[in-house]
């Protein structure tokens, strides 16, 4: 079993181990600027600003709601997670 989650993680860790001595500290002002950029990006990507409506088989919906309940989340949240994962996949 590999100690890495996947190839991308392996490459990132190896790069960091090779290059971390070359990192340069940045000013507090620059840190705040970078934090603001990341915060705004996270807010932009996590804001749910679109609504969709579609029809499904009631039996399928019941099964889906049961799965969501076992996960401890609402079925809408589970649907949103599935749509997000699918949209992000290659």
Token pair for 88: 């992000």
User: Half-sphere exposure of 85 toward its Cβ, with a 13 Å CA cutoff?
Assistant: 6
* Cα 71 from Cα 82, distance rounded (Å): 13
User: Does residue 83 belong to any structural domain of this protein?
Assistant: yes
Q: Is residue 68 part of a domain?
A: yes
- State percent of the chain over pLDDT 90: 39
pTM of the full predicted structure? 0.50
80 is a domain residue = yes
- Mean per-residue pLDDT of the chain: 88
- Number of structural domains the chain divides into: 1
In a domain, 71, yes or no: yes
User: 25-43 as b/e, with b when 16 or more CB fall inside 10 Å?
Assistant: eeeeeeeeeeeeeeeeeee
Residue 5 in domain:
no
Q: Answer yes or no: is 11 within a domain.
A: no
Alpha-carbon distance of 35 to 14, in angstroms, equals 25
Asked, for residue 67, whether it belongs to a domain, the answer is yes
Domain of 35 in residue numbering reads as: 26-88
pLDDT tens digits for range 46-75: 778 889 999 999 999 999 999 999 999 999
């Amino acid at each position: 079993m590999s100690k890495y989650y996947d190839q991308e993680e392996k490459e990132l860790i190896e790069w960091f181990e090779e290059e971390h001595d070359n990192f340069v500290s940045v000013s507090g002002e620059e840190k705040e600027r970078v934090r603001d950029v990341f915060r705004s990006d996270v807010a932009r990507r996590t804001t749910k600003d679109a609504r969709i409506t579609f029809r499904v088989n009631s039996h399928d919906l019941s099964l889906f709601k049961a799965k969501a309940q076992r996960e401890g989340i609402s079925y809408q949240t589970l649907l949103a997670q599935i749509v997000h994962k699918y949209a992000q996949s290659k």
